[in-house]
Amino acid sequence: MPHIRVYHSFRSPYSRLGLHILARTGLKAELIPFTGPPEGVAFNDPVANPLKLSYYMQDAPRMTMRMGLPINPPQPFDTDMTPSYKAAVAAERDGKGLDFAIKVSDARWGKGRDVSDLSVLEACAEEAGWDKNAVSSSQEDDFVAAELTRHRKMIEEDGVFGVPFAVMGARKYWGHDRFDLLAEDADG
């Protein structure tokens, strides 16, 4: 099986869908929190673009319901994702990356929870079968800090501009609707 990297963000409902597809297909991938585009590349934030936001608010629920998942937009929408990204890196290290990432995405997009709250992340860790105490320790973990720095370089090298985004060798896949193609290519 080829090495696959999947960039995700808890800010994106589409990233949530991509993580669920990844789990359903059984693909193994290195999960990398998307902390923003490469330096000097503009980020087309749907919240800052009224036309994109209008479409986003129509499409994200439709695609979520199509996958049979509940949707409950998070309040607040804009929150500091740093605590969740740090915990996600530690969960990946501990072999619970995908399980934890799905639980956090579901907490944010399925239950409307604030994933900057450590108690929410601890509950997600328990649901994922991961030690909830690892969430708080990940916030000051040197390994996690080093991984986040390495991830920034990978984002630039892979040219990641949005999520979910997968890289398998020289092939790139942007959007949850491309993850079935990723699974086909990984098998082929």
**DSSP code string of the chain:** ---EEEEE-TT-HHHHHHHHHHHHHT---EEEE---SPTT-----GGG-HHHHHHHHHHHHHHHHHTT------SSSS---HHHHHHHHHHHHTT-HHHHHHHHHHHHHHH---TTSHHHHHHHHHHTTS-THHHHHHTT-HHHHHHHHHHHHHHHHHT--SSSEEEETTEEEESGGGHHHHHHHHH-
Task: Identify any residues that bridge with 171 across adjacent strands, giving them in sequence order.
Answer: 168
CA–CA separation, 168 and 6 (whole Å): 9
Instruction: Return the bridge partners of 6, or none.
Output: 31, 166
Range of the domain at 172: 4-187
What is the rounded distance in angstroms from the CA atom of residue 86 to the CA atom of residue 102? Answer: 15
Taking only the tens of pLDDT, the chain with its 188 residues reads 789 999 999 999 999 999 999 999 999 999 999 999 888 887 777 778 889 889 988 999 999 999 999 999 898 888 999 999 999 999 999 999 999 999 999 999 999 999 999 999 999 999 999 999 999 999 999 999 999 999 999 999 999 999 999 999 999 999 999 999 999 999 87
Structure tokens at 77: 């929408």
Question: Please, are residues 108 and 56 in contact by the beta-carbon 8 Å criterion?
Answer: no
pLDDT of residue 27: 93
- Please choose, from the candidates 156, 187, 179, the residue with its C-alpha nearest in 3D space to the C-alpha of residue 6: 179
pTM, to two decimals: 0.95
Domain count for the chain: 1
State how far the Cα of 92 lies from the Cα of 102, in Å rounded to an integer: 12
Check which CATH number belongs to the domain holding 172 and give it.
3.40.30.10
